[in-house]
Chain A
Amino acid sequence: MELDELEQDALKEFFNMGLGMAADSLSRMVKKEILLSLPQLAVVDHRDAVALVDNKGNEQLVAVRQIFLGDLCGTALLIFPGGKSLELVRTLLGDDVPLETLTELEQDTLLDVGNVILNAFLSSFTQMMTIEFEFEAAEFLKADCNSLLDISAHKLSCPKADKIDNSQAFFLMMDFKTAEDELKHNSLRGYVVLLFSEQAMIKLKQEIARIISGL
């Protein structure tokens, strides 16, 4: 998707709003302030998206998937790399919970967190757009990076005429970092990745152009 400087700036600002809302939701869950860095946004192809997700080795990544359909068809992924997901579960459930229990509760906890964060993110990201879409239920996934970021692997229920655009993905990186993590140089890094259908990419560009032209 070709975007000029102002359109890119607009997209970044919408991401920024999405991120702010997502961080607020997460902060309420962990009862701590979430430190936000400047959003790092890239519109990339599949290969570059894989390279951007800091996947040391070929281990399985834990992710929460939220498929959306309607005017925008695609999927949002919240990816926790490198075993960091258990740290988030520990932060949410407290240090005194035994490891076995944490592991048992990992899936349900991350599903709850993912659902809240991705909903907050997408609702805020699209708040200035005149589009309607619905969410399917959030799902918990364990997969390698390559297949996780492959939009055709997500079996999206888009209208038949709407092709899946495998060439590009929106990619946003966010750190889930509390002030204590910052002191310990410990970061619970997570990624939000949006994969859109071809029609959704066109719709998004139209919406951005419409908002800018109204200014």
Chain B
Amino acid sequence: MAQQSILIVDDSSLARMMVRNIVSQTFPDWQIIEAANADDGLAKVKNQPVSVALLDFNMPGMNGIDLAAKLLELSPDMGIHLVTANIQDTMRQRAEAMGIGFIKKPVSKDDIVRIMGGGR
């Protein structure tokens, strides 16, 4: 089976490091792809299939919701989750309406196991 990969898009390097740390400890076989903004994230998945994407909402340039829409167009099977400190109900509802997951920052090991445990 081909190696599975996860895309982490967040403008905060600390936030990316925190997720990377949990993923590499819990799922050492997964390849981790990082991007600091939406455009970079899109460019990186064009030639590389990704099973799971964790997207920050509030980033300079394109936000996580708009990025999620573009990723879904590219790859409808991708397991996409919005990862944000903005925990207002409206934000959660927006994610639900798009059929993507919603994770409150800071990301915990339980969150990662929940979304990646099933292989996506």
Residues in chain A within 8 A of chain B (CB atoms): 6, 9-10, 12-13, 16-17, 19-21, 23-24, 27, 33-34, 36, 38, 124, 127-128, 211-212, 215
Contacts and interface: CB of A to CB of B under 8 A. Distances in A.
Given A127-B106, A215-B18, A21 B88 contact: no
Nearest to A34: B88
Interface stretch (B9-17, B95-103, B111-119): B9-17
Contacts of B89: 27
A13 B91 CA distance: 18
B31 interface: no
Interface of B: 12-15, 17-18, 20-21, 58-60, 84-91, 105-106
- Top 4 A-B residue pairs of the complex, sorted by shortest distance between their CB atoms: A20-B85, A33-B90, A10-B14, A17-B85
A174 to B, nearest CB: 12
A77 to B, nearest CB: 21
Contact of B15 (A13, A20, A24, A212): A13
14 contacts: A13-B14, A13-B105, A16-B12, A16-B58, A17-B105, A20-B85, A20-B105, A21-B87, A23-B86, A24-B87, A38-B59, A127-B106, A215-B17, A215-B18
Contacts of A27: 88-90
A12 B84 CA distance: 14
